[in-house]
Amino acid sequence: MSEGRSTILVRVFGQDAPGITAGLMDVLSAGHCELYDVEQVVIRDRLSLNVLISVPDDQTTIRDVLFYATERRLTADFEPVADVPAPSRNRFAVSVIGARVTPQAFGAISRAIAEAGGNIDSIERLSRYPVVSYELAVSGGDQNAMRTSLLETSAVHDIDVAVQAEGIARRSKRLVVMDVDSTLIQDEVIELLAAAAGKRDEVAAITTRAMTGETDFTLALEQRVRLLAGLSVSVLDEVAAKIRLTPGARTFVRTLKRMGMKVGILSGGFTWFTDRLASDLGLDHSYANELEIEDGRLTGRITGTMIDRARKAEILREIAAREGIGLDQVVAIGDGANDLDMLAAAGLGIGFNAKPVVRNAADSSVSVPYLDAILFVLGIRRDEVEADVAENGSPPEIVGLPPI
């Protein structure tokens, strides 16, 4: 601090109106102030403007700010600050998502952050519907301790909380890859096929064990596909027509594409269905297993290299390398144990309505039934999505997949 100067925190409150911040800066400029920091929040047209400045000790600037605030029917107060702290080296973005976020939940989140050594610098609401979401800018603290504490808090209060290190990598995601069954779509396709073959219960039991990690995925898939032997390909088209996109899937993909991101699907399911999805949604990459067909019927076998847990991660790395994208710029989304390696390989792994084994391992988790809620984890506000829809239009959600 220079001789004959003081550091002051100026706080201005009141009814918001255009030009308030510009006018205050004119006053501070005329008073030869040095600007250290500024933060402004407007909630329901009520302004809270905080400015940290260095001012001459003659009190002229404080008098002028008071006069300016009175003219604008605002309240201003001043707090001397002994020193200007250096910015924290650790900064995090904490995303909070839920059908509703209660004061008790917000209080528990705040305490968890504080107990991990973090401080909340600002809070921004990202959406009010179809879910409520906030982004908290946090400085200081230990990320692992914070994440562990917040996961416990989220379970108690039925909300989702994600912790990400703030920085260039978070703001420069360029590739999103996701699982298909129970992620991009609401269904487990193999169970729909099994129902048509009269083997639904048998296949569903194997699927459950595979997705929770109790059974090796490759073995489980071979067992389930064998149960489909003899099924006519005409049934595959009937099943494709029944497939339901997850609510918000079109909005999610369209928004990512509008942001210039590449979007792909990595599925342990089947190309008969994923190819249609990729064409319908305009995806950049699509990988799945291929069912063997002879004389118009399933043989009960898969052709080519099976896409299992390890292969999903390999393909993710291959796509990123082909696109010239660093792994820290990749987002992976999935729900089952078969997605664990893929989530671990990505810079950000997100469990979507995930099984406990995935929810506990993923960087973050989203448990609401809307795929576009993941946009809020990426720091995108709902009004930005709506503005894009208003400008560019939005195809309606459809049931079933169109033929290629």
Q: Report pLDDT for 86.
A: 59
Residues 111-166: tens digit of each pLDDT: 999 999 999 988 999 999 889 999 999 999 998 899 999 989 998 999 999 999 88
Q: How confident is the model at residue 84 (pLDDT cuts 50, 70, 90)?
A: low
Top mean-pLDDT range of 161-175, 193-207, 276-290, 376-390: 276-290
Numbers of helices and strands, H then E, in the chain: 16, 15
CA–CA separation, 289 and 269 (whole Å): 6
What Å distances lie between residue 156 and 96, 104, 108, 151, 159, CA to CA? 14, 10, 9, 9, 8
And the tokens for 259? 């942001």
Taking alpha carbons only, the member of 180, 202, 183, 184 closest to residue 193 is 202
pLDDT of residue 189 exceeding 90, the answer is: yes
pLDDT of residue 89 exceeding 90, the answer is: no
Q: How confident is the model at residue 252 (pLDDT cuts 50, 70, 90)?
A: very high
Domains 5-80 and 91-166 share a fold: yes
Given the residues 57, 121, 181, 280, select the one marked as catalytic.
Answer: 181
Q: Report pLDDT for 400.
A: 41
Q: Does domain 91-166 have CATH number 1.10.510.10?
A: no
Contact 62, 55 (CB under 8 A): yes
DSSP 329: G
Contact 8, 53 (CB under 8 A): yes
Residue with tokens 């201003």: 76
Q: Which fold has domain 175-392?
A: Rossmann fold (3.40.50)
3-state helix, strand, coil in the chain (%, to 5): 40, 30, 30
Q: Report pLDDT for 401.
A: 39
Q: Report pLDDT for 24.
A: 94
Given the residues 160, 179, 308, 372, select the one marked as catalytic.
Answer: 179
Report helix angle 217-226 to 189-196, nearest 10. Answer: 30
And the tokens for 318? 């291959």
Q: How confident is the model at residue 9 (pLDDT cuts 50, 70, 90)?
A: very high
DSSP 148-175: HHHHHHHHHHT-EEEEEE-SHHHHT--E
Backbone angles phi, psi at 102, to 5 degrees: -85, 165
Question: Is residue 181 annotated as a catalytic residue, yes or no?
Answer: yes
DSSP 227: T
CATH of 5-80, one of 3.90.1170.40, 3.30.365.10, 3.30.70.260, 3.40.50.1100: 3.30.70.260
Lowest average pLDDT, out of 79-88, 112-121, 163-172, 387-396, goes to: 387-396
The pTM score is 0.81
Contact 10, 39 (CB under 8 A): no
CA–CA separation, 300 and 291 (whole Å): 8
Top mean-pLDDT range of 36-40, 210-214, 314-318, 379-383: 314-318
Average pLDDT of span 48-56 = 92
Q: Where are the domains of the chain?
A: 5-80, 91-166, 175-392
